[in-house]
Every structure is written in structure tokens, then in C-alpha cells.
Amino acid sequence: MLKIGPYQFDNPLVLAPMAGITDAVFREICRQNGAAYTLAEMVASKKELWESKKSSTRHVNLNDPEPRAIQLLGTNPEELAEAAAWQVENGAQIIDLNMGCPAKKVCSVAAGSVLMGHPDKVQEIFTQVKNMVDVPVTVKIRTGLDSEHKNAVDIAQIAEACELDAITIHGRTRAEKFQGNAEYDTIKKVKQTVSIPVIANGDICSPEQAEFVLKYTGADGLMIGRATQGNPWLFRETNHYLTTGEMLAGPTELEFFSTLLKHIQGLHSLYGDILGPRIARKHFGWYLQNSPAGIENHQAIRRQFNQLDQAQTQLDLIKQLFAPR
């Protein structure tokens, strides 16, 4: 079973940190539906951004159950170490380092997955962050920069030598971004090479795929991201399948309605009257794709919802469409 530092988890499923998605509201819903632990959205290491309005919704939420995990993004070892210490002082209990993001705006400043091309800097970052905090430190990487430069095993060995507590690997290179299919051979090699916990990530979209990836790679855990958008019940269904070998029915109409309503209300509360309804639109669209049978004309419904800029009118439409009759 998955263990990170002193934390032993009941199951191997982890919610991936996704920018603009895995806020406190979504993390709580996923935990209630079976995620063993969750990571907050990545936070920039630059000190001047710590107290920005955007970052304020991404910091540690002391209402989160333990362990509270924060992912840091940056390139400067001293900055990252200082940011890690600040997060721990404010309640973080696991620090995760982002060396896997392929986004252009991240890579253009030599952060995220670009760091995999600089092993010496990676080692310096690992060393300084570990020396600065007394909580578990983990890292998320990719298989490499491109198909000709797959060095996940090398980075994993550096992580182990620097006494990191776990490593998550997305089964694509930086160049692939999210295109094509994830490959798990590299993750399997890493697991066979190092003794620290390895968490597999990439294209885990169903309970059956989760079981395959666990068995094929030998990984200690699975990180699930995009497949949970509008479908937090995937954690519950996957846990049931891994435990019993049987498929679990999806949410009832009442569960679907109450979860959607809770999520949208939570976004309104977290982000306010202007930003809340805007952010709610993408989440509503994802839920719509997983809505119960009988809901038709998805495109028209989504267009209607996207035109609403008031919290109450959004809630009224949800009740009109999904409230159990």
C-alpha cells in the first residue's frame, strides 16, 4: 500500500494537481469519493507571488485532512527551498516539486519538465529543499524531454540519493505534452531501479486501466487527473474494482445532482460573485458529459449555462435540469 514518509494511505489513488481545477472545493469532493490524498494546484516559488490574489486560493487549506500537500513550481533552488519552508510554516505537510509540467509558459522560463534536461540543477533543488524542511518531499516528472532523451530512471536515482520520499511519473515526454498514448515501460523501469515509492500517472481513465497500470508497472500508487473532471466518482469505482474485481455502478441521480450542486456552490463561495460563475462553467461542462441518462442537447445546455454570469441563475438552471423528480 502507498506510503509517503510517515503517512500510510488506505488505498493507492491520488488526485493529480491540475492548474485551475484542483482547488479546495474539488479536492474535498474527490477525497469524499475515495481519493487517498490530493495535491493542491501548483504554486510559483517566487516570493512576490506568494500573497497574490491568484495564489491565495492555492495555498494550504487547514481544513483539508492530513496530509496537506502543496506542489511548487520554480527553477531556483534557493527560491524553491524558501517557498517550501514558507508553505510548511503555513500548514503544508508534503512538498511536491513540479518537474513534469509541459505547458509553454512554464517551460519558457526553464521550469517544469524542462528541468529534466538539467540533472545537476535537479540534484541541487532536491538537496536544498530537503535540507530546508522536515516534511516529506516528493517530485513529479515525465519520462524525459523527448523520445530520444528519456532519462526518468536517472532523475529517479537522483531523487533516491537525495532522500526524496516518492516520485510520480507521467508516461509521456515533455515533447508529447498530452498527445498520443501514455507508455508505462519507463515507469516500470524506474520502479525496478529505485526503492522509494513510485506513483504512475497518465491515461488512467477507468478502473480496468488502473488495475492494468498497477500490475504492469508494479507502482505503489496511481495519480489520476483529467479523467476525474466532472467524474469524482472514478475514485470510488476504481477502489471498489481494485478490491473486489467487480464494477461499481455510477452515481445515482441524487448523488450526481447533490455533488454537482455542492461543487458549483463551493466555487461561487471560494472565488466570489464574479470569478466564481466564470470558473463554474468549465466544471459544469465536464459534469454534463457524465450526466445521467435522459439529459439531451448537451451543447445547447452548455451554451445556456455559459451565458449565465450570476451565481443564483446558474444554481437555478442546475436544479431545473438535474434535481430528482
Distance CA 106, CA 113 (A): 8
The percent helix, strand, coil of the chain (3-state, each to 5) is 50, 15, 40
Percentage of the chain exceeding pLDDT 90: 77
Closest CA to 81 of 93, 97, 58: 97
Q: Exactly one of 30, 101, 107, 205 is catalytic; which is it?
A: 101
Match 500573497 to its residue by C-alpha cell.
Answer: 51
Strands (E), the chain: 3-4, 7-8, 13-15, 37-38, 43-44, 69-73, 94-99, 137-142, 166-170, 198-201, 221-224
The string of pLDDT tens digits covering residues 286-297 is 999 998 877 888
How many Å is the maximal CA-CA distance in the chain?
61
98-102, 221-225, 252-256, 259-263: range with lowest mean pLDDT: 98-102
Contacts of 307 (CB under 8 A, 6+ apart): none
Contacts of 282 (CB under 8 A, 6+ apart): none
In the chain, what is the straight-line distance between the N-terminal and C-terminal CA atoms, in Å? 42
SS3 sequence of 24-65: HHHHHHHHHCCCCEEECCCEECCHHHCCCHHHHCCCCCCCCC
Cβ proximity of 210 and 222 under 8 Å? yes
Distance CA 241, CA 1 (A): 16
Contacts of 230 (CB under 8 A, 6+ apart): 283, 285, 286, 287, 288, 289, 290
Q: Quote the mean pLDDT of the chain.
A: 91
Q: Can you tell me the mean pLDDT for 90-100?
A: 92
Stronger pLDDT, 234 or 59, i.e. the higher one = 234
The string of pLDDT tens digits covering residues 47-88 is 655 555 555 556 677 878 889 999 999 889 999 999 999 999
How many alpha carbons fall within 13 Å on the CB side of residue 8? 1
By CB atoms closer than 10 A (0-12, 13-18, 19+), residue 167 is buried
The string of pLDDT tens digits covering residues 103-152 is 655 544 556 678 998 999 999 999 999 999 999 999 999 999 888 989 99
Q: Which helix (H) or strand (E) holds 84?
A: helix 77-89
Contacts of 133 (CB under 8 A, 6+ apart): 81, 84, 85, 88, 95
Q: What are the phi and psi torsion angles at 98 (to 5°)? A: -85, 110
Length of the chain: 325
The string of pLDDT tens digits covering residues 236-256 is 999 999 999 999 999 999 999
pLDDT at 29 over 80: yes
Q: Does the annotation count 101 as an active-site position? A: yes
Model pTM above 0.75 = yes
Domain 3-244 class?
alpha beta
By CB atoms closer than 10 A (0-12, 13-18, 19+), residue 281 is middle
